[in-house]
Chain A
């Protein structure tokens, strides 16, 4: 009877482990939705198109100005000037917020698979639950099993137990400020270039290399556009170059921005980014949204808005 319960106990632990890992993996799938600070593009009620940015523009201070470039020629080609919102590109930079975001990004998907078997697990897998010799009259030390910690091939008493995940969420506004502060730092250091669109004449990688050297862009570039479908030529040209990466706006994150030397944004991406961040900073349901980060993804039963999900 005892052996039966011991076996079921170990099976229970195994089943529990599997269940936990399954739950965590499903949380990772949902994580994308709750972790992304910028609302999704496929919002059924497309309010961002009707969002009047002028009411929130240039409230305090002067808007920053940036050249708008074109990628059609190798030589620098400036077509105009664009204004950038202060709350997105000109905040008082705080390195501790950037650091928090970087640490979170590197550790939240980390899993430590170290697992040391205990005495009972060693007995279950390799045997040795019986008393090796009688207690007395042998002239030997007294032992209960050959798998206790002091034995060779014995179990570990206080070792690492099972897969341990380092999943955690930092608050919603910390992540929003992480984006704004890294963008300001990049802007202050002249590492942001705004581009009209990503049309280039050839699909030759050398064209990209020439552009980077002639315009003084850094060793690695991150090209960000609003949609996730890019023009043919630039995808073909940058396909083989590992330090020039294309990214849609919904993938923008602090770690990528710091890993790449320069950041190239299209005009449409800048517009969409300002709208989304201004929404994130001035939203009315911030209490519910911060609750999502704290307690995990779950439906919010707001009395008035049953059909409007909190994103």
Chain B
């Protein structure tokens, strides 16, 4: 047992606080269990009528299968006991090509490019306008969505209060023209002027308030 005398204890704390050993900008690694949960936190909002079988017997069979696989560990905090499942592992590089083909469909390495003519029920469409036609152009995300983001920003003079801010990013061309059009669009909608800050270097406009939906509607109407 280590005796911690007062002076020694103080010095150990000095070494432990140890700026001389830790780096500038050192980050402690997060445990993987917290990052990637493989089990549900609670059973709220997890019931789906479509997944319930039609008869009692079918339900019983399904539950028997479920408890075979997972068993008692569904009530514990530790990881699932998946070793009960029987499987065979092979190391055949020739076979992996088929697995790779399936993986490329299920989880592709690159974000797939949707076809421009496809019409979706969600209202999604690929950009209809080319960069030269309008005085400005707003690029899409790498995920083919609009680059409009809302976030909280702290008030400088009152650090405990926060207000929302909307960013319209990835703007190419005449930003001031786009801001003018956006201001007119928002005034038509709300009969109110909104404070916006164009930033030419960073290619973005920042509006006070949560105007995410309105900016997206504007961009949709333009066909970006």
**Once bound together, how far apart are the Cα atoms of A300 and B36, in whole Å?**
9
**Nearest B residue to A8, CB-CB:** B2
Majority SS at the chain B contact face: loop
CB distance B110 to A160 under 8 Å?
no
Question: Roughly how many angstroms separate A285 CA and B108 CA in the complex, as a whole number?
Answer: 9
A5: Cβ under 8 A from any B Cβ: yes
Chain B residues whose C-beta falls within 8 Å of the C-beta of A81 in the assembled complex: none
Asked if A5 contacts B8 (CB within 8 A), the reply is: yes
Q: Nearest residue in A to B15 (C-beta to C-beta)?
A: A13
* Contact B21–A162 (Cβ < 8 Å): yes
The interface stretch among B22-30, B49-57, B147-155, B158-166 is B22-30
- Whether, in the assembled complex, A168 has its beta carbon less than 8 Å from a beta carbon of chain B, the answer is yes
CA distance A304 to B109 in the complex (A): 13
B139 within 8 A of A: yes
B100 an interface residue at 8 Å Cβ cutoff? Answer: yes
B113-A56 in contact (CB<8A): yes
A1-41 near B? 1/0 per residue, CB < 8 Å: 11001100100010011001000000000000000000000
Q: With the chains together, A284 CA to B109 CA distance in Å?
A: 6
Contact between A5 and B3 (Cβ–Cβ < 8 Å)?
A: yes
Taking a contact as CB atoms closer than 8 A, the residue among B2, B23, B29, B100 that contacts A167 in the complex is: B23
Residue from the list A115, A283, A294 in contact with B109, Cβ < 8 A: A283
Q: How many residues of B contact A (CB 8 A)?
A: 40
Interface size class of A (residues with CB under 8 A): 35 or more
Check if B109 sits within 8 Å of A60, measured CB to CB: no
Interface flags, A29-67, vs B, CB<8A=1, else 0: 000000000000000010100010001100011000000
In the complex, chain B residues 1-22 whose Cβ is within 8 Å of any chain A Cβ: 2-3, 5, 8, 11-12, 15, 18-21
Taking CB atoms, residues of chain B closer than 8 Å to A47 are 109
B63 on the A face (CB < 8 A): no
A291 CA to B34 CA, complexed, in Å: 13
Cβ-defined contact, A295 with B29, below 8 A: yes
Does B38 count as interface, using CB distance less than 8 angstroms? yes
Other-chain residue from A60, A161, A279 in contact with B137 (beta carbon distance below 8 A): A60
Question: Do A295 and B36 have beta carbons less than 8 Å apart?
Answer: no
CA separation between A294 and B25, bound complex, in Å?
A: 10
Contact check, A160 vs B20: say whether CB atoms are below 8 A apart. yes
Q: Per a CB cutoff under 8 Å, which of A61, A300, A301, A304 touches B106?
A: A304
Partner of B110, one of A162, A284, A301: A284
Instruction: A175 to B21: give the CA distance in the assembly, Å.
Output: 27
A131 at the interface (CB under 8 A from B): no
B67 at the interface (CB under 8 A from A): no
Provide the residues of chain B in CB contact with A55, threshold 8 Å: 113
A304 in contact with B107 (CB, 8 Å): yes
Interface string of B100-131 (1 = CB under 8 A from A): 10010011111101000000000000000001
On whether the beta carbons of A45 and B27 are closer than 8 Å, the reply is no
In the bound complex, residues from chain B placing their C-beta under 8 Å from that of A303 are: 36, 38
* A166 in contact (CB, < 8 A): yes
Cβ–Cβ contact B142 & A305, under 8 A? no
Verify A161–B110 contact, CB threshold 8 A: no
Known: A47-B109, A295-B27, A308-B103. A6 touches B8 (CB 8 A): yes
Q: Which chain B residue lies CB-closest to A294? A: B27
A61 and B107 contacting across the interface, CB-CB below 8 Å: no
Give the residue name and chain of the A residue nearest to B30 (CB). Answer: A295
**Smallest Cβ distance from A90 to chain B, in angstroms?**
11
Whether B203 lies near A92 (C-beta < 8 A) is yes
Chain A residue at smallest Cβ distance from B21: A20
**Are A283 and B110 in contact (CB-based, < 8 A)?**
yes
What B residues does A298 contact at CB under 8 A? 29, 32
Query: A57 → chain B, closest Cβ, in Å?
Result: 10
Q: Does A282 contact B (CB under 8 A)?
A: yes
B12 (CB) vs chain A CBs: closest residue: A9
| Distance, CA A165 to CA B26, complexed state (A) | 10
B3: shortest Cβ distance to chain A, in Å?
7
With A9-B8, A279-B109, A303-B38 known as contacts, the answer to whether A168 contacts B103 (CB < 8 A) is no
Known: A9-B8, A162-B21. 6 other contacts (CB 8 A): A5-B2, A163-B20, A296-B27, A298-B32, A301-B32, A303-B38
What are 10 A-to-B residue pairs whose CB atoms are below 8 Å? A5-B2, A13-B15, A16-B15, A56-B113, A167-B23, A168-B25, A278-B110, A279-B109, A284-B108, A298-B29
Footprint of B on A, CB under 8 Å?
A: 1-2, 5-6, 9, 13, 16-17, 20, 45, 47, 51, 55-56, 60-61, 92, 94, 115, 120, 160-168, 278-279, 281-285, 291, 294-296, 298, 300-305, 308
Q: Which residues of B contact A (CB under 8 A)?
A: 2-3, 5, 8, 11-12, 15, 18-21, 23-27, 29-30, 32, 35-36, 38, 96, 100, 103, 106-111, 113, 131, 137, 139, 142, 172, 201-203
